[in-house]
Amino acid sequence: METFNSIVTELSLASIMMRFALNMTVLFILIRLIYYRNTKKEDYFFSFFLIGIIIFLICAFLGTIDIKLGVALGLFAVFSILRFRTVSYSVKDMTYTFIVIGVSVINAYANIPPPILGAISTNFIIVVAVWLLENFLQKNGLSSMVVIYNKLEMLHPSSRQDLLKELSQQTGLPIKKCRVRKIDIGKGNAEVEIFFKDSTAS
């Protein structure tokens, strides 16, 4: 067991592969078993897994150089600048991106004694925290999306209930509330963010 622990703590190919296997297992649990189960989105599978793999390998193979903290901070800075500028990229998706990066950096660098138990415990805490938040704290939460609405007269506060009813009929979603994000008087439409209970998430 002592020899096994020393392999994990050393920056060798065997150590990197063992940490990589642990990292992929944790990413699979987070992305496939938790993220997909609650969002039903397949769009980010490719990105999440590859981000985790690349971040891990960069950190692991650069770990032989004494710039660990600088590399980790630099990676976070790069991704904070990129910010995945897409319209449909929600706060939850951005949070999972941060989690994937964080888990990969932790698994590449962390050397918490005892090595095996320390690594497993750290990842276990992260997985349990994400699972609890998804299944309990956000169980009654609302999903959201942005729609283009072309009846500006319905945006008056006094017509809010009629607006919710019409949006529910048009989208087929049980809309609970809405928020006007942007009004374009020239085009005669507005960006309206709708909030609804997603019955497909389980």
Which residue type occupies 192?
V
Evaluate if pTM is beyond 0.75: no
Residue 174 lies in a domain: yes
Residue 7 lies in a domain: yes
Q: Do 173 and 190 share a structural domain?
A: yes
Q: Do 174 and 86 share a structural domain?
A: no
Residue of 63, 27, 65 lying closest to 48 (CA atoms) = 27
pLDDT at 73: 61
Q: Do 132 and 150 share a structural domain?
A: no
CA 162 – CA 195 distance, rounded (Å):
15
CA 15 – CA 18 distance, rounded (Å):
5
Q: Do 21 and 73 share a structural domain?
A: yes
Q: Do 24 and 112 share a structural domain?
A: yes
How many domains does the chain contain in total? 2
Output the six-digit token pair for 186: 């020239």
Residue of 150, 151, 56, 159 lying closest to 110 (CA atoms) = 56
Q: Do 179 and 119 share a structural domain?
A: no
CA 102 – CA 79 distance, rounded (Å):
12
| Domain boundaries, position 175 | 143-196
* Coil, strand or helix at 126: helix
Q: Do 68 and 8 share a structural domain?
A: yes
pLDDT at 41: 76
| pLDDT by residue, tens only, the chain of 202 residues | 445 445 444 556 777 888 899 999 999 999 999 988 877 777 788 889 988 998 888 777 776 555 555 655 665 566 555 555 544 567 778 888 889 988 988 888 777 666 677 788 889 999 999 998 887 766 566 778 889 999 999 988 888 899 999 999 999 888 988 999 899 988 999 999 998 876 554 4
pLDDT at 202: 46
CA 48 – CA 178 distance, rounded (Å):
30
CB hemisphere CA count around 99 (13 angstroms):
24
Q: What is the CB neighbour count within 10 angstroms for residue 43?
A: 12
